[in-house]
Amino acid sequence: MSDGTEPNCLKITDIEPEELLLREHSELDISTLGSYDLVPISRLLSFDDVWLIKKVRSEGNKVYLPNKERKYVELRGGEWELALTFVGASIKVIVLGLIARWIYDKVNNWKQAKAEKPGSGIKQPGVKIRLYFTKSKKYIEIEGDAETALKALDKLKKDDF
């Protein structure tokens, strides 16, 4: 699956879902995971999480939000972060495609801002993505420059899990 040539912002780990949930201090009932396509487990959800959830839901997929006391969060830095999300095998390609589109927009906005204000030192946006593919039990972390993250996503799309 992993041929060891991942872009350096990509980390793939084999982990049991119970262990990951424990690590994240989540009280999510593991048996519910199989019934849903997308489960973002964080209590704090960014605008970008909302967009991803709504897009996945609008395609007719089942989304479960386990935290009833959730809050929305907005980070005003140049680093964009998605909540840790459990992803069902059937929507792997959709989710990776949507995230790629999301990052692509960030890269475009950055390039435009840089072109409008040359020399202003605007940095390339950074992204932090954490996904858990429930079927293959693969935990994916992507953290780095947006452009490198796009390459990592491209590689993930080709991987078979």
Partner 1 sequence: MISEVEELLKSAREQLNNHNIPMAESLYQKAINIINKKIPSVDFGQKQLLIMKLWTTKAELLFFRSTNPIGEETFEDCRNKRLDSLRYLYKCSKVNDYFYSIYHPRLMEYIKDTICRFGCILPEINKNVVVTCPIYLRRLDRDSEIPFHSMGTSIAITYEKGICSICEKDMLDDDCEHVPGEVYDGKICIMTVADFEVDHLALVSRPKDPIAALFTNHSFSADEALKKLPEQDRARKIKYGLPFICFLCRDEKLDSSELTPENFFKMQNLKIEIE
Interface with partner 1 by CB under 8 A: which range of 4-12, 65-73, 88-96, 132-140?
65-73
What three-state secondary structure class fits 152?
Answer: helix
Exposed/middle/buried for 129, CB within 10 Å: 0-12, 13-18, 19+? buried
Applying CB under 8 A, the site for partner 1 has a residue count of: 30
Rounded CA-CA distance 152/114 in Å is 24
Q: Which of 136, 105, 107, 134 is nearest to 123 (CA)?
A: 107
Q: Nearest 5°: phi and psi at 100?
A: -60, -40
The nearer residue to partner 1, 123 or 157, going by C-beta atoms, is: 123
**Least distance in angstroms from the C-beta of 141 to partner 1:** 17
Q: Which residue number, 25 or 76, has a Cβ lying nearer to partner 1?
A: 76
Q: Pattern of binders to partner 1 over 9-48, x per CB under 8 A?
A: -----------------------------------xx-x-
Instruction: Name the token pair of 88.
Output: 């069902």
Task: Examine residue 119 and tell whether it contacts partner 1 (CB under 8 A).
Answer: yes
For 40, the enclosing helix (H) or strand (E) is strand 38-40
Q: In the bound complex, what is the minimum distance in angstroms from residue 101's beta carbon to partner 1? A: 11
Q: Is 8 in the site for partner 1 (CB under 8 A)?
A: no
Strands 126-133 and 79-81 turn out to be parallel
For the segment 66-85, give every residue that binds partner 1 (CB under 8 A): 70-79
Residues forming contacts to partner 1 in the complex (CB under 8 A) are 44-45, 47, 50-51, 53-55, 57-58, 65, 70-79, 118-126
